[in-house]
Structure 1
Amino acid sequence: MSSAPEPHPAKRKRSLLGGLRSSFLTGLVVVAPVGLTLWLMWTVAGWVDGWVLPMVPAELHPERYIGVNLRGIGVLIFLIFTVIVGWMAKGIFGRALIRMGESIVDRMPVVRSVYSGIKQIAETVFNQGEEKFDKACVIEYPRPGLKAIAFVSSSAKGEVARLADDGDPLISVFLPTTPNPTSGFLLFVPRSQITYLDMSVEDAAKLIISAGLVYPSEKKPDPAKGKKSA
């Protein structure tokens, strides 16, 4: 029997380059998220250190005693300080101190507006008692026929709610942008024009951040629920 002809050297070379390219892309998919995450954590830690450590007396800096600049010490100090402030703010003395400070801020025209806006944002984002985005949904945007993913916030209230048609209340939704979902638009959409999604808010955020490359896996129906009881 005649042996099979050997592949042409050019084809072998292309095959080798294709394998190397595939391995490189696979490695990049693995290394890039880890590297970017570590870089981001390292950068944020350095930024917090540069903001916190100048407020700490030089005698208390760790590098003064060990001779090494430990990145992240400022983050640790900030966390401890924030926990202490939060613990004090829950007490009677802390609440009285906060009310006194806010009464002083209320007398400052420009500072009052800045403080009030930042406080409202912080309470909305960090307050554990407040509800966050309820559900992910799809609305027609920027024109009829095109679909966009948005997050349901709450039902419209006050003057905005009175603008709704009878029987079709307005719902406030947040329309995020890609790839940064923290920026976007606040829209008031009639309830009849909102299509709710089964995917969670986290999965919808991943879909937006990845520009449609990462789709959440669909939930498979439970076979036990489909069986009829004998």
Structure 2
Amino acid sequence: MTALRKWLFSGLLVLVPLIVTLWVIDWVVGTLDQTLNILPPAWRPDALLGVHIPGLGVVFALVILLSIGALASNIIGNRIVSWWHALLHRIPVVRSIYSGVKQVSDTLFSEKGNAFRKAVLVQWPHEGMWTIAFLTGAPQGEVLDTLQAKPGQDTLTDDFVSVYVPTTPNPTGGYFVLLRARDCVELSMSVDEALTYIVSMGVIVPGGPKNPKIKPAVVAADPS
């Protein structure tokens, strides 16, 4: 039974990552293949070739993305994009949704942005407990103006930073907090390594062994 159990877990360790990886790739390819539906039915590869070839939607989506990026990079395309942004900002409901999404996308995907460029160690949720967070910037706008308007209190000029504290094992959920810069310990690990460390719940240590041996915790004796 001990050998069977060992073989079972060894098989799971081999198959589970492979199955999940293939499932994610299949989902991505299947989703991007839906972009072919914007073409007229007679122009779709299935109708032209007479057979469905998975992955053509990925190529088509990449061509569209590169074309839009090239168009938006020149003067004429930049004016068209500016006109399009101004038009969307005039629509009441669309304006609030589009503005929020655009600000987040500009922060995350801009080459000049600093969001999620550094991993830091912070005390969370209270002093004495440490976790990994990501530096997202510095406080600005109303938060900064309100605190600066109160004399005698700490201001957020250079003393505080904005960080995102992700949850484990799903880092897409988390908390946005403002912390003193001196309370954040900058880590040398990359953002990818930090995300791997978080998703694995500390099992995969950046720069450490792939299969670390976990030492058993020392449990204090019950005085009773």
Mark yes or no: TM-score above 0.5.
yes
Q: Contact 2:89–2:99 (CA<8 Å) still a contact in 1?
A: no
**In percent, how many aligned pairs have the same letter?**
35
**How far apart, CA to CA, are the structure 1 residues paired with 2:190 and 2:72?**
34
1:140-187 deviations in Å (ceiling 9; x for gaps): 222222222111222333453463727971111110111121221111
Alignment partner of 1:41: what SS? helix
Are residue 135 (structure 1) and residue 118 (structure 2) matched? yes
State the partner residue of 1:19: 3
State the partner residue of 1:116: 99
In the TM superposition, structure 1's runs of 4+ consecutive aligned residues that sit over 4 Å from their partners are none
Q: Contact 2:114–2:137 (CA<8 Å) still a contact in 1?
A: no
Q: 1:45 aligns with which of 24, 29, 40?
A: 29
Q: Contact 1:161–1:170 (CA<8 Å) still a contact in 2?
A: no
TM-score by length of 2: 0.80
Which stretch has the larger CA shift, 28-37 or 80-89?
28-37
Deviation at 1:27, TM superposition (A): 2.8
Structure 1 regions of 5+ residues with no counterpart?
1-16, 219-230
Which stretch has the larger CA shift, 154-163 or 204-213?
154-163
Which stretch has the larger CA shift, 107-116 or 60-69?
60-69
Q: 1:67 aligns with which of 36, 45, 50?
A: 50
Matches within 5 A, 1:150-229: 150-161=133-144, 163=147, 165=154, 169-217=159-207
**How far apart, CA to CA, are the structure 1 residues paired with 2:75 and 2:7?**
62
**How far apart, CA to CA, are the structure 2 residues paired with 1:101 and 1:63?**
33
**How far apart, CA to CA, are the structure 2 residues paired with 1:120 and 1:44?**
25
**How far apart, CA to CA, are the structure 2 residues paired with 1:62 and 1:134?**
40
**How far apart, CA to CA, are the structure 2 residues paired with 1:101 and 1:187?**
34
Deviation at 1:95, TM superposition (A): 0.8
**How far apart, CA to CA, are the structure 2 residues paired with 1:155 and 1:64?**
53
TM-score by length of 1: 0.78
Q: Contact 1:135–1:152 (CA<8 Å) still a contact in 2?
A: yes
1:107-148 deviations in Å (ceiling 9; x for gaps): 211111111111112212222232232422222222222222
Are residue 104 (structure 1) and residue 87 (structure 2) matched? yes
Cα distance, 1:23–1:53 mapped onto 2, change above 3 Å = same
Q: Tell me the matched-pair count.
A: 202
Q: Contact 1:156–1:171 (CA<8 Å) still a contact in 2?
A: yes
Cα distance, 1:160–1:170 mapped onto 2, change above 3 Å = farther
1:176-219 deviations in Å (ceiling 9; x for gaps): 1111212211110012322233332222111111112211225x
Deviation at 1:86, TM superposition (A): 0.6
Alignment partner of 2:134: what SS? strand
Larger radius of gyration: 1
Structure 2 regions of 5+ residues with no counterpart?
148-152, 209-224
**How far apart, CA to CA, are the structure 1 residues paired with 2:12 and 2:67?**
42
